[in-house]
Structure 1
């Protein structure tokens, strides 16, 4: 859980824990067995029972790109047409 909380690399785990290879292997096993999903379900159920869960407002993050219709080629001043659907991120 330390890795998930801090976002650190496995090899940077504090010495108070077992070797990082052991921790990573156990994490992978628990993930395959669905242990984290079960923990989350149990936490949500506990919060519901205590009245600590409010789902009236949620925030979702995402990226949307508009698919443009029409002209497929554009003249970018070089005298030769280029595809107009390229998306450049700089």
Structure 2
């Protein structure tokens, strides 16, 4: 979302990009996308046998992959 996802380059078989983007905007306003990310983090934690209440940290950038940083 923040990187300016190229909505016009959706795979063949998807509805028109405007339709998909409209759904995304609506879900994002209602908090659906954040709930999906929260649930996925929970499933990953459980799959790796970690306690479900462990802090998730900032899910936007992997460690060392923030803006302006290069992976070594």
Give the TM-score normalised by structure 1: 0.46
Q: Paired residue for 2:34?
A: 37
- Aligned length, in residue pairs: 56
CA shift at 1:45, angstroms?
Answer: 1.3
CA shift at 1:49, angstroms?
Answer: 2.1
Counterpart check, 1:59 vs 2:56 = no
**Larger Cα-atom Rg:** 1
Structure 1 residue runs of 5 or longer lacking an equivalent are: 64-90
Alignment of 1:13-28 (within 5 A): 13-28=10-25
Counterpart check, 1:9 vs 2:6 = yes
RMSD: 3.2
Structure 2 residue runs of 5 or longer lacking an equivalent are: 56-61
